[in-house]
């Protein structure tokens, strides 16, 4: 996922309920799919952030050698300014970028 090219809103936004539940005809199912995707996005972002911050990690036990690293601060600020995972997931849902299927319908066939 390219986080620099996302166009999800950073602030709270009100969505039309009919647009959210249109693909599933069930608002609860739609929210469930969006929530699962938000968890996946959050895991991806967290892993990426940890990998980048480990580059700056120092493995000294001395508290006297703690100092501010400007690159580390810039990386942290970038991730703080990103839209929240649920906003990214809703944006993907509205743009039909999330694949989902109902397993109950598959088992009945």
- Asked if residue 6 has pLDDT above 90, the reply is no
pLDDT, tens digit (0-9, with 9 covering 90-100), for 77-102 = 999 999 999 999 999 999 999 999 88
Say yes or no to pLDDT of 68 above 70: no
CA pair distance 91, 87, nearest whole angstrom: 6
pLDDT of residue 12: 87
Write down the pLDDT at residue 66. Answer: 55
Higher local confidence (pLDDT), 25 or 3: 25
CB atoms within 10 A of CB 44: 14
Residue 5, class by beta-carbon neighbours within 10 Å (0-12 exposed, 13-18 middle, 19+ buried)?
A: exposed
pLDDT at 51 over 60: yes
């Amino acid at each position: 996922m390219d986080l620099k090219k996302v166009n999800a809103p950073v602030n709270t936004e009100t969505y039309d309920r009919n647009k959210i539940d249109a693909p599933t005809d069930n608002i609860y199912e739609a929210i469930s799919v969006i929530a699962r995707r938000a968890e996946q996005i959050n895991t991806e972002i967290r892993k990426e952030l940890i990998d980048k911050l480990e580059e700056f990690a120092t493995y000294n036990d001395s508290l006297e050698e703690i100092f501010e690293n400007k690159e580390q601060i810039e990386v942290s600020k970038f991730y703080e300014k990103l839209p929240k995972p649920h906003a990214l997931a809703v944006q993907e849902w509205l743009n039909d970028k999330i694949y989902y299927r109902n397993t109950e319908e598959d088992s009945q066939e």
